[in-house]
Amino acid sequence: MVNLEWYRTFKEIYENGTLTKASIALYSSQPGVSVHLNALESYVGKKLFERTSRKMIPTEDGKFLYEYIIDAIHKLEIAEQHFKKTTLEKNPSIHVGMCSEMFQSVIEPEISKLTFDLEAKFGSHTDLIKDLNNGILDLVITPRKQTDKKSLVTYTAFSKERIVLIAGAKTDTREIEKTLKVNNLKELEVLFQQNIWYSSSNEMEHFRRFWFENFNKRPAFKPNYILPNISSIIRCLSNEVGLALTPDFLCHDAISKKEIKLVWEGKVKTENTLYFASRTDLKYKQELNVLQNIFKSKMSTFI
C-alpha cells in the first residue's frame, strides 16, 4: 500500500520547486524527501520530475498526478488541523505563516514566553494565503494584499519594510560614498556594476524594483550569487566583500554589530507595507493579539 506521506512530499516538491525548499516546508531532511520521492516514483512506475541543478521540473505524469491528488491532500490537511484544534486539552495551538527570516528575527526570541502552542509555516505568500483561506493557518504576515470578494481574509497594516543597500564590512565603499554626495547617478550605476552582488531568489523582485525606482531602468546585470534567503546573504557578507539589497529590519542587527554597513537608502524609498492577514471567523483572538503585539513592538524598533 502507498504511504500517504509520499503524496504530501510530492506536493511540497511540486509547489516549492526544489528538494531543499520542500524539506524546509516539511520540517524534514533533504535525503528523507528524496527517499519519499524515489519510493513514490517506483510505486507508480513513472518519472514525476526532471532533475536539474537548480529546479525540479514536473513531467507530464507529475502534472497529472498533482492535479489528481491536490484536492484530497488539502482536505486531509484541513481535517488534520480541525482534529488537532477540537481535541486540545490545555493550550490552544496557533498556526502562523511568514518568511523564515521574519520568524527568526521577530518570533524566535519570544518563543519561551508564549503561553500557547505555536506552529510556523514558511512558503510563498500566495500559498500561505491559500492555507489561511482553507483554515490551515490562523495568521499570515505578508507584504501583499490579495483581493477576493469571496475570501474570509482581512488585512491589517502594521508596519513597513524598506529596501536598503548594504555592503560587507571589508567592502571599499569610498568611491560610492563620494559619488552619492554629488548625486551622480550615472557614475553610481557604473560603480555598482563593478562590485560583487548577492541576492536571493525570493528577493529578486525587490532588486529589480529598487533599481528601476532609483535609475529609471532595469538592472543590466544579475547578481553573482543567488542564495536561499536573506539570512544567508547577511552571513556571507559579514566581514567580507560585496553588495546586496535587503529589507532594513533584517539587516538591522548586523549593521549595529558592524558586521555589514548601510551604504544607501535610495533616492526614492522602496517600501512595502506589512499586513496581518487573518480570517474574519478566527477563534483565538487573545493569542493572535499577543503575536501581533510582538510584531508591532519589534518592528517599531527598526523604523
pTM for this structure? 0.64
Q: Are residues 94 and 155 in the same domain?
A: yes
User: Which domain does 102 fall in, by range?
Assistant: 88-160+272-300
Q: Are residues 223 and 205 in the same domain?
A: yes
Q: Are residues 30 and 98 in the same domain?
A: no
Look at residues 23, 36, 158, 122 and name the one whose alpha carbon lies nearest to residue 131. 122
Phi first, then psi: give them for residue 139, nearest 5 degrees: -150, 140
Q: Are residues 172 and 256 in the same domain?
A: yes
Q: Are residues 278 and 153 in the same domain?
A: yes
Q: Are residues 138 and 175 in the same domain?
A: no
Q: Are residues 150 and 180 in the same domain?
A: no
Q: Are residues 23 and 115 in the same domain?
A: no
Q: Are residues 9 and 76 in the same domain?
A: yes
Q: Are residues 9 and 53 in the same domain?
A: yes
Indicate the number of domains in the chain. 3
Q: Are residues 118 and 220 in the same domain?
A: no
pLDDT for the residue numbered 1: 60
Between CA 120 and CA 97 the distance in angstroms is: 6
Q: Read off the CATH number of the domain in which 70 is found.
A: 1.10.10.10
Asked whether the beta carbons of 114 and 98 are under 8 A apart, the reply is no
User: Could you tell me which residues are beta bridge partners of residue 273?
Assistant: 160
Buried b / exposed e along 96-114 (16+ C-beta atoms within 10 A): bbbbbbbbebbbeeeeeee
Q: Read off the CATH number of the domain in which 202 is found.
A: 3.40.190.10
Q: What is the pLDDT along the chain (303 residues), one digit of tens a residue?
A: 678 889 989 999 999 999 988 888 887 888 889 989 999 999 999 999 999 888 999 999 999 999 989 888 888 877 777 666 555 446 788 999 998 888 988 999 999 999 899 999 988 888 899 888 888 899 999 988 877 767 788 999 999 999 999 999 999 999 999 999 999 999 999 999 999 999 987 778 888 899 999 999 988 888 999 998 888 999 999 989 999 999 998 898 899 999 999 999 999 889 989 999 998 877 788 899 999 999 998 887 655
Q: Are residues 76 and 97 in the same domain?
A: no
Between CA 167 and CA 237 the distance in angstroms is: 7
| 3-state helix/strand/coil string of the chain | CCCHHHHHHHHHHHHHCCHHHHHHHCCCCHHHHHHHHHHHHHHHCCCCEEECCCCEEECHHHHHHHHHHHHHHHHHHHHHHHHHHHCCCCCCEEEEECCHHHHHHHHHHHHHHCCCEEEEECCCHHHHHHHHHCCCCCEEEECCCCCCCCCCEEEEEEEEEEEEEEEECCCCCHHHHHHHHHCCHHHHHHHHHCCCEEEEHHHHHHHHHHHHHHHCCCCCCCCCEEECCHHHHHHHHCCCCCEEEEEHHHHHHHHHCCCEEEEECCCCCCEEEEEEEEECCCCCHHHHHHHHHHHHHHHHCCC
